[in-house]
Chains A and B, each alone.
Chain A
Amino acid sequence: MKAVILGGTTGIGRAIARRLAERGDSVFLLAREVDDLTRSAEDLTARHPKREPVGHALCDLERPEGFAAALDAADAALGGFDAVIVTAGLFATQDALEADIEFTRRLVTVNYANTVVFCEHARKRLLTRGGGRLAVFSSVAGDRGRKPVAIYGSSKAGLSVYLEALDHKFHAQGLSVLCVKPGFVKTGMTAGLKPPPFAGDPEQVARDVVRAMDRRRPMLYTPGMWALVMLVIRWLPRFVMRKINF
């Protein structure tokens, strides 16, 4: 794989980048801070069996005007990428979002509108070279309207529907789109929250994601237990959802 990873310097993105680099895949990093990027690139270079220098470029999901240039830089460095992975996004608890209308606007814009725009840039480039792989992090929170994730979940719901449609539409042209739905994963994003049962760690999720990309799967619940949990949640009747606080 020649993979571009938006968000590859932290959390699950970092774990995926390491997994790919350690098995010899080429990796290019996109993130918001230069110092963070150079440090992560050095980390991946040291882990790559051939010590292949890992390239990087600035890219901020809040600045869609920079998307094209960032992907051009990745293309140039990798000699044409064939995989794009998006783990970046914003998160806050429902309480925090309800208290901060401006952050709500930013979160919904980043997680839905700007992520879709980024994927459109990536998708077009991949299709011109006969397809490839696009793996994007949505969330189990997008599967059902739920009290504790009303705003965050809705941004991910929109993203999930977009990714599903993309897979339907371009599958025949060789583009495999993977919609990743992580459950609770112990990362910096969720630090400070109490982990529920079946909480995953970034390495475990990274392993699942890379395997699903290799097999060109369209959807992945990870850790796997969440597929079962969400199956039940999706079928719960409305009057039950109103009562429970999950």
Chain B
Amino acid sequence: MNPRTTPTLSGWGRLPAPGVEKLSEDLERLTRGAALTRGLGRSYGDSSLPAKADDLVACSRMADRILGFDPETGVLRAEAGFSLVELNRLFMPRGWFSPVTPGTKFVTLGGMVASDVHGKNHHVEGCFGAHVRSLRMRLADDSIVDCGPEQEPELFDATVGGMGLTGHILEVEFSLARIPSRWIHMESERMPSIDEFLAGLGRAAPAFPMTMGWIDCLHRGRSMGRGILMAGRWAEASEAGELAPRAAHPLTMPVDLPNLAINDLTVAAFNALYYWKHLRRRATTLVAPDPFFYPLDAILEWNRVYGPRGFTQYQCVIPRQAGAPAVREFMDLLTKLGGASPLCVIKDCGPEGRGMLSFPLEGTSIAVDMAVSPQIQSIVDRLNEFVIAAGGRIYLTKDRFTRPEHYRAMEPRLERFLAAREKYDPHRKLRSGQSVRLLGDVA
């Protein structure tokens, strides 16, 4: 096949698969007979890519209407293509915010449910699915049903974090959270090593509703895992003052950088700058939500910095029982194996949610971007073997390279999910590149 003439779709990691998406405002009609629905294509790997080129892929992007908002309770119902960027633009000035936000605002509500996204506040608020009251879905047999925590709970639990494999999400109803101001009170601290980092995260979690850390993943030895810990809470109105944050004017990455633009040297330079930019050991600042929650959204199409070879993100969670030594060992393995990456993020997760395949569990989550290279498969394999031994798991939304046997080994909940799938889609009409790779669906 000639890649120049064959239309392709790709996830955020830019590895393409042949296929086209169909667009329409009428998602209900569009999803009839469709194999998969995708939103804004922010999942990194193949979870929003078709299993084969002529599978009908519905794109929810144009189905973006608000269907109701109650200013008393904050309950919002909207079509699945309604995006977080619109939600923030419209509702933040009115004192409401999504109860959970991932690290990019360019996601749809449908995608947030299918990935059961988590945010900096996971240890307090859980995943997005914990705040969903109701979903309207088109199932594989083309019927349309409503489900929620109490209504059709099996379907609901399989859909939250179910990567779109249980049905097409048409509408989402969830509760927004009240915010006292439009600013974040942030306390940040430079952390010289992974052990201090983990201790710092542990200290910050009970004190702050939002925590996360950036790690310099090139440093080894005693300063391995050095980085910057960020903890925050919404500023009270009295602290924030009257000023509204300036509207973000993102830049756009205009071209693909060459494949080797991200290399050990450039990343070491970036990481050193980023680390030492934080001159004082501790700092307290008032920051706008955009740079706090979505630092990378400041550059649209930033995924082009990895060049045409594309990239992936490895994100796993290491359970609390495995303890700090396991995290240290993982970081050691990662810095030994991993290529250079300007992005490595660490976060404390709270208890597991009710989504059957929802990613987070109580422990430490680590996410790192990796350029696609000939070694990528073996790197992912080695990391996965470690994670399996530690009793952890990976985040499907980021994954493109995990092997099915590894996935089965790390996912004891899979049986329950497959049973639900058997019930709602016995013929496996709903499928993706990822479900073919990991669950053995027929392409």
Interface residues of A (CB under 8 A from B): 9-11, 14, 22, 36, 39-40, 42-43, 46-47, 51, 187-188, 191-192
Cβ–Cβ < 8 Å partners of A39 in chain B? 65, 67, 79
Which single residue of chain A is at the shortest CB-CB distance from B25? A10
Q: Please, how many angstroms separate the alpha-carbon atoms of A11 and B69 in the complex?
A: 23
Cβ–Cβ < 8 Å partners of A51 in chain B? 71
Chain A binding surface SS class: helix
Interface residues of B (CB under 8 A from A): 22-26, 62, 65-69, 71, 79, 90
Q: Please, how many angstroms separate the alpha-carbon atoms of A199 and B71 in the complex?
A: 38
Q: Please, how many angstroms separate the alpha-carbon atoms of A84 and B373 in the complex?
A: 57
A46-B22 in contact (CB<8A): no
Cβ–Cβ < 8 Å partners of B79 in chain A? 39
Least CB distance from A40 to B in Å reads: 6
B25-A46 in contact (CB<8A): no
A42-B65 in contact (CB<8A): yes
Cβ–Cβ < 8 Å partners of B23 in chain A? 188, 191-192
A47-B66 in contact (CB<8A): yes
B62-A188 in contact (CB<8A): yes
Q: Please, how many angstroms separate the alpha-carbon atoms of A22 and B90 in the complex?
A: 9
Cβ–Cβ < 8 Å partners of B68 in chain A? 42, 46
Least CB distance from A182 to B in Å reads: 17
CB<8 Å pairs between A and B, sample of 7: A10-B25, A11-B25, A39-B65, A40-B65, A46-B68, A47-B90, A191-B23
Which single residue of chain B is at the shortest CB-CB distance from A190? B23
Which single residue of chain A is at the shortest CB-CB distance from B7? A194
A46-B66 in contact (CB<8A): yes
A42-B66 in contact (CB<8A): yes
Which single residue of chain B is at the shortest CB-CB distance from A22? B90
Known: A22-B90, A36-B26, A192-B22. 16 other contacts (CB 8 A): A10-B25, A11-B25, A39-B65, A39-B79, A40-B65, A42-B68, A43-B65, A46-B69, A46-B90, A47-B66, A47-B90, A187-B62, A188-B23, A188-B25, A191-B22, A192-B23
| 3 residue pairs, one from A and one from B, having the closest CB atoms | A43-B65, A191-B23, A46-B66
Cβ–Cβ < 8 Å partners of A47 in chain B? 66, 90
Least CB distance from A194 to B in Å reads: 9
Q: Please, how many angstroms separate the alpha-carbon atoms of A180 and B66 in the complex?
A: 28
Cβ–Cβ < 8 Å partners of A188 in chain B? 23-25, 62
Cβ–Cβ < 8 Å partners of A187 in chain B? 62
Q: Please, how many angstroms separate the alpha-carbon atoms of A141 and B180 in the complex?
A: 51
Q: Please, how many angstroms separate the alpha-carbon atoms of A144 and B5 in the complex?
A: 30
Least CB distance from B412 to A in Å reads: 41
Q: Please, how many angstroms separate the alpha-carbon atoms of A39 and B101 in the complex?
A: 26
Contact flag A42-B25 (CB < 8 Å), given A47-B90, A188-B62: no
Least CB distance from A86 to B in Å reads: 18
A14-B67 in contact (CB<8A): no
Scoring B22, B62, B79 by chain A CB atoms within 10 A of each residue's CB, the highest score goes to: B62
Cβ–Cβ < 8 Å partners of B22 in chain A? 191-192
Cβ–Cβ < 8 Å partners of B69 in chain A? 46
Which single residue of chain B is at the shortest CB-CB distance from A186? B23
Least CB distance from A13 to B in Å reads: 10
A43-B25 in contact (CB<8A): no
Q: Please, how many angstroms separate the alpha-carbon atoms of A66 and B388 in the complex?
A: 67
Cβ–Cβ < 8 Å partners of A191 in chain B? 22-24
Q: Please, how many angstroms separate the alpha-carbon atoms of A151 and B65 in the complex?
A: 33
Which single residue of chain A is at the shortest CB-CB distance from B76? A46
Q: Please, how many angstroms separate the alpha-carbon atoms of A9 and B65 in the complex?
A: 10
Q: Please, how many angstroms separate the alpha-carbon atoms of A225 and B194 in the complex?
A: 53
